[in-house]
């Protein structure tokens, strides 16, 4: 290999980028941790939870948390909230009657049906939680892979493609096929599902987890409707709740979910719920599977999404105003 000055420069640049990336991530983690700590111990989270928002229902979303971390979270949440099943919240919304809902209600939901969820069963029993796990009906009980795990580095990019084009791209790049059986199982199997049935409400998360808004009408209807029927036959119980994959939905997806006979559909829109909420637009607070208690406190209390909202809507529209003030100050300084 010929070592040229350009090559040395390029190598130095890529190392520099890696170090900068690491540094940015590190700062990001520290800042989030500090903000979470202040939110948790300053009394703000207490006032929000115990006074201002105590009649609002919080739905948290996990994916594949480690049992040790999950138990730590549930122990913390059990001290500050009252666990409630999704069924009870949805019934209250349909009846417009909150008399069966405790103060500070919190509903635990878990997406996709990862095989690791089975290890959480003892925690569900110990803390008397009745979570809802949304299953991908045609990935559970098989050795098929979740498509978004087949090409992790590009999954965000792939989500934007039309569904058929995305599958084609996955085939070309990593030989991925929806119905291919792989060596390792990624989702829950029927033995595990049966053992969980007395403690868990199962909902549908489509057949294969497509981004519904990128599907044709026919594909979208099939994913929403057939997953429900399949799970009802497999588990021998009604499947009444649905979650939009990746939280992507529009009027069409809501209509399909309603027409198929679901009682609710959960989004990934950030926010809280009450009896006036639209049951096909349930809002959530997403929890990082490996969050520290400070981060958990900020996430369950909607702090980070609130900061994101402020940055996106408030600060952006006021940037012009702030830069005008700055310009005027500079002009005044020149006058002096």
Binding range to Zn ion, per CB under 5 A, among 82-90, 110-118, 176-184, 194-202: 110-118
Separation CA 152–CA 170 (nearest Å): 11
Helix (H) or strand (E) holding 245, with range, is none
State yes or no: residue 286 binds Zn ion (CB under 5 A): no
Q: Which is nearer to Zn ion, 39 or 70 (CB)?
A: 70
Strand 241-243 and strand 58-62: the pairing is unpaired
DSSP-assigned letters across all residues of 65-127: --HHHHHHHHHHHHHHSEE--HHHHHHHHHHT--TTPPSSEEEEEEEETBGGGGGGHHHHHHT
Q: Which is nearer to Zn ion, 105 or 203 (CB)?
A: 203
Q: Which is nearer to Zn ion, 102 or 247 (CB)?
A: 247
Size of the site for Zn ion (CB under 5 A): 3
Least spacing, CB of residue 26 vs Zn ion, in Å:
29
Interacting residue with Zn ion among 112, 225, 253, 286 (CB under 5 A)? 112
Least spacing, CB of residue 148 vs Zn ion, in Å:
8
State yes or no: residue 111 binds Zn ion (CB under 5 A): yes
Least spacing, CB of residue 121 vs Zn ion, in Å:
20
- Which tokens is 207 given? 């057949």
Least spacing, CB of residue 156 vs Zn ion, in Å:
14
Q: For Zn ion, what does the binding mask look like between residues 234 and 253, x meaning CB under 5 A?
A: -----------x--------
Q: Which is nearer to Zn ion, 92 or 167 (CB)?
A: 167
* Exposed/middle/buried for residue 97 (C-beta within 10 Å: 0-12, 13-18, 19+): exposed
Interacting residues of 94 by C-beta distance below 8 A, sequence separation 6+:
263, 279
The residue with its CB nearest to Zn ion is: 111
């Amino acid at each position: 290999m010929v070592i040229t000055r350009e090559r040395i420069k390029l190598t130095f640049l890529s190392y520099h980028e890696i170090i900068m990336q690491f540094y940015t991530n590190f700062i990001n983690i520290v800042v989030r941790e500090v903000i979470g700590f202040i939110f948790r111990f300053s009394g703000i989270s207490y006032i929000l939870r115990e006074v201002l928002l105590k009649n609002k229902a919080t739905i948290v979303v996990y994916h594949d948390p480690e049992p040790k971390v999950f138990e730590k979270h549930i122990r913390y949440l059990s001290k500050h909230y009252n666990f409630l099943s999704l069924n009870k919240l949805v019934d209250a919304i349909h009846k417009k009657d909150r008399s069966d809902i405790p103060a500070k209600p919190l509903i635990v939901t878990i997406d996709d049906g990862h095989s690791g969820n089975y290890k959480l069963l003892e925690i569900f029993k110990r803390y008397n939680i009745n979570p809802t796990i949304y299953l991908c009906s045609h990935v559970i009980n098989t050795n098929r892979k979740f498509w978004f795990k087949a090409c992790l580095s590009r999954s965000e990019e792939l989500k934007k493609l039309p569904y058929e084009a995305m599958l084609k791209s996955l085939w070309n790049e990593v030989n991925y096929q929806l119905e291919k059986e792989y060596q390792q199982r990624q989702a829950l199997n029927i033995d595990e599902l049966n053992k969980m049935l007395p403690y868990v409400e199962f909902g549908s998360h489509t057949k294969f987890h497509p981004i519904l808004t990128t599907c044709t009408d026919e594909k979208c209807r099939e994913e929403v409707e057939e997953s429900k029927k399949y799970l009802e036959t497999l588990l021998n119980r009604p499947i009444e709740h649905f979650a939009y994959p990746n939280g992507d939905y529009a009027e069409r997806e809501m209509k399909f979910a309603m027409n198929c006979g679901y009682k609710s559909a959960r989004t990934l829109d950030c926010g809280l719920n009450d009896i006036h909420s639209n049951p096909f637009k349930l809002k959530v607070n997403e929890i990082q599977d490996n969050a520290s208690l400070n981060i958990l406190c900020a996430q369950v209390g909607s702090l980070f999404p609130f900061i994101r909202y402020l940055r996106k809507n408030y600060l952006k529209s006021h940037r012009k105003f702030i830069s005008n003030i700055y310009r005027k100050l500079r002009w005044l300084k020149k006058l002096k």
